[in-house]
Amino acid sequence: MDPEARIVELKLRTPGLVAMTLGERGSLVHDGERVYRGKAIPVDVVDTLGAGDSWIAAFLCSRLKGEEIDESIRMGHEAAAETCRRLGAWGGEP
């Protein structure tokens, strides 16, 4: 099943937002009305460990500050990209 169809299916069973990270293919977020697609930031990857965790942490922090979904997705991708530029999960997260 393609990711966009999967997130629509998940949203039918889940209240609130549903988010899915897709590595270098970006991310998807469904708010019940539409599917938002975020673009990954190209970087010279050193290590991907922790990138998804960094994405969701930055996304959630941004949403809790009241930012719009598009801005929160962008913040998530910035954090994930920064994580990928460094080696290891400890100290690699922004």
Residue 90 inside a domain? The answer is no
78 has pLDDT over 90: yes
Residue 64 neighbours by CB distance under 10 Å: 9
Residue 79 inside a domain? The answer is yes
Which residue range forms the structural domain that includes residue 49? 3-84
- CA 39 to each of CA 10, 27, 69, 77: distance values in angstroms, whole numbers, following the listed order: 21, 7, 13, 7
pLDDT on residue 43: 96
Residue 94 inside a domain? The answer is no
Domain count, the chain: 1
pLDDT on residue 1: 79
Strands (DSSP E) found in the chain: 18-21, 27-30, 35-38
pLDDT on residue 44: 96
pLDDT confidence bin for 93, thresholds 50/70/90 = low
Phi and psi for 36 in degrees, rounded to 5?
Answer: -95, 140
User: What value does the mean pLDDT take over residues 66-90?
Assistant: 93
Whether this model's pTM surpasses 0.85: yes
